[in-house]
Amino acid sequence: MDESWEKDRNVTARLAGVLWDMDGTLLDSEKLWDVAVRELAREHGHEMTDAIRHALIGASGPNALRIMFTGLGIEPTPDSLRAAGEFLERRVTELMTGPIPWRPGAKDALAMVRAAGLASALVTNTKRSLTEFGLDTLGRDFFDVSVCGDEVAHGKPEPDVYLRAAELLGLDPEQCVAVEDSPTGTRAAQAAGCAVVVVPCEIPVPHAPGRVFRDSLIGLTVAELENALRLRD
């Protein structure tokens, strides 16, 4: 028997689940967050710089606020952080009410994974109350489980959300491919042991071993997901 065929067969047998980031990966929702965080900066008498804005992409809520306050020179008191979090939730809720634009190819990619019989999870740093708006657009039937940043001890770039998603699916993270758009999310997925397909959205993601890059999700195939596992190993 050809050894390369046997290796491919083993990789195919190992692929069991796909773990999807939401903002910037499946939905073009980073632009909504951009509106909200820039308005929040103005509430504090500052203009958001692109450098600070880019540092926020993919970060969990508490981490994002700390990055923003530090970058803009705002004192991060408990009261100011709480008020900022409430402002963002209120404003993003307003912006997410109604359909949210999809990223190119995302809906077909979700359907492809479902048709292939693979497990599927939504894995996001966004808090549950806001993620539900995203799920209204995405469709809950595409996912077996969803895990949000406020449901684990530490959000991305820590691996907690990915480890929890794999656990809920009954899978080893090494059986899973994560699909991400940001450096923060990519680090989290790799730290959990997942293979990663990276589809950058708002900011570049550095090339590194174990990362497979695509320009979009258009035409994504099971074979490419399997290849991501093979390259990780």
Phi, psi at residue 80, to the nearest 5°? -70, -35
Please state the pTM of the whole predicted model.
0.83
- Report the DSSP pairing between strands 195-198 and 211-213: parallel
Determine the 3-state secondary structure of 189 from DSSP: helix
**How confident is the model over 120-161, as pLDDT tens digits?**
999 999 999 999 999 999 999 999 999 999 999 999 999 999
Note the pLDDT tens digit of each residue in 55-94. Answer: 888 777 788 888 899 999 988 899 999 999 899 889 988 9
CA–CA gap between residue 150 and residue 55 (Å, rounded): 20
